[in-house]
Amino acid sequence: MHRTGKLEEDKLGSVMGLQRIAPWAVAFLPWVLTLLFAATSGAAMLEIRVKGGEHYTHVYEWGIYHLRLIPLIAIWAEDENEDFIAHIYINNRSATSMWGVGGKNISRPTTLPVWLHKQGIKYEDQGLVADGNDPLLYAVASATPQESLIKRWDTPKSLSPGNYVIKAEINHAYDYNERYQKDLPKDHPDFNAENGQPSVIWKGEWSFGLKEERISLVPYGHGHPLGKDGKIYTDMDGITDALKIVESVEVEYMPGR
């Protein structure tokens, strides 16, 4: 009897203890569940793989020097109306507009003209340059890899499910060919300054939702050889080596867990 009474007393104490704890547990339960969900769930993400092609690296003879050049690359997202949404990747030099030893904010609109016109700002005395005050631009900037590029991008929380466009602009300076020749007169229709062939635009459509998706971007057009505007010109006649800078641009979409 004594032992049974002791057990009943302990049980009663436990119940009373739970009654005292219950209001606190109920109050904190949503907060605890939110933390647990955040710790076990992942944001939706894109993984972009740019595979270098036959002309990913380019050797340009400048006097007695042989310059080994790697391409300039910009990747960004647009809505289904092809209005700019967000940067995904940009090489460092294009992000800072730093070319040679001249410092920042040097205008080189021939490099990535479509990307620049999508989000660039224009200084009256310096021409079109990237927006050096955009922290989101610096967040995705890095040096161009020597062979191929793999970039992971967490989709913004503000992005709503729907149809979007991924674009990549890729360019080499000094990649002259039969059409885009070196030292053409300025009044020649294919005058390109020191650009050579214009930038090539790769494009793919992406459905942002709950299903995984793989997208292969395809060459869609090119930028203006002198960077005079941000239009995409779909006539690819005369563009040769520039189409072989990269072999493929693949995008894998992984929805959050």
Domain boundaries, the chain: 1-41, 44-254
Select from 179, 96, 158 the least CA-distant residue to 130: 96
The pLDDT tens digits of the residues spanning 88-132 come to 998 877 777 666 655 566 677 888 999 988 876 665 445 666 766
The residue among 23 and 120 whose pLDDT is bigger is 120
The pLDDT tens digits of the residues spanning 58-73 come to 887 777 777 788 899 9
Taking the C-alpha atoms of residue 180 and residue 195, their distance in angstroms, rounded to an integer, is 9
Taking the C-alpha atoms of residue 215 and residue 45, their distance in angstroms, rounded to an integer, is 13
Which residues are CB-contacts of 66 (< 8 A; sequence separation ≥ 6)? 59, 60
Arithmetic mean of pLDDT, 198-210: 95
Give the pLDDT confidence score for residue 256 in this predicted structure.
75
Token pair recorded at residue 119: 């989000």
CB 49 within 8 A of CB 250: yes
Give the pLDDT confidence score for residue 62 in this predicted structure.
74
pTM of the model: 0.78
The pLDDT tens digits of the residues spanning 27-52 come to 444 444 334 333 334 689 999 999 99
Look at 1-5, 73-77, 112-116, 209-213 and tell me which has the smallest mean pLDDT.
1-5
Give the pLDDT confidence score for residue 71 in this predicted structure.
93
Look at 6-20, 119-133, 162-176, 235-249 and tell me which has the smallest mean pLDDT.
6-20
Give the pLDDT confidence score for residue 206 in this predicted structure.
93
Taking the C-alpha atoms of residue 20 and residue 215, their distance in angstroms, rounded to an integer, is 56
Q: Is the pLDDT of residue 74 over 60?
A: yes
